[in-house]
Amino acid sequence: MLPLSHLINKKVFVTHGGLFSKDGIKLKDIVNTHRRREPTDEGIMCETLWSDPTDLNGRHQSKRGVGTMFGPDVTQRFCEENGLSMVVRSHEVKPEGFEY
């Protein structure tokens, strides 16, 4: 049973997939998410696993059918609301090894 995310130096949020379909998600909400189960098709667990970033502001329907696509404005609000400086995700392979 792996963690849904990790916090480095209280400033860098690391997750597999991405962010959430609504604003106001706090780090404590992620910590309090029940993980001893298979992921469902919605909610915090699903979205940390399957959401993807997009260059477009706002939220959009996911190409995966689960999770959400979230823009840079969503990332900025999540960071501001949680006192973070960065979100790092690892779901997709990038030719250069990383992508901003």
Statement: residue 6 has pLDDT above 90: yes
Q: Per-residue confidence at 1, pLDDT binned at 50, 70, 90? A: confident
What pLDDT sits at residue 67? Answer: 94
Q: Per-residue confidence at 5, pLDDT binned at 50, 70, 90? A: very high
- Give the residue with greater pLDDT, 59 vs 35: 59
* Residues 40-87 pLDDT 10s: 899 999 999 999 999 999 999 998 889 999 999 999 999 999 999 999
Q: Per-residue confidence at 16, pLDDT binned at 50, 70, 90? A: very high
**Secondary structure of the chain in HEC code, one letter for each residue:** CCCCEEEECCCEEEECCCCCCCCCCCHHHHHCCCCCCCCCCCCHHHHHHHCEECCCCCEEECCCCCCEEECHHHHHHHHHHHCCCEEEECCCCCCCCCCC
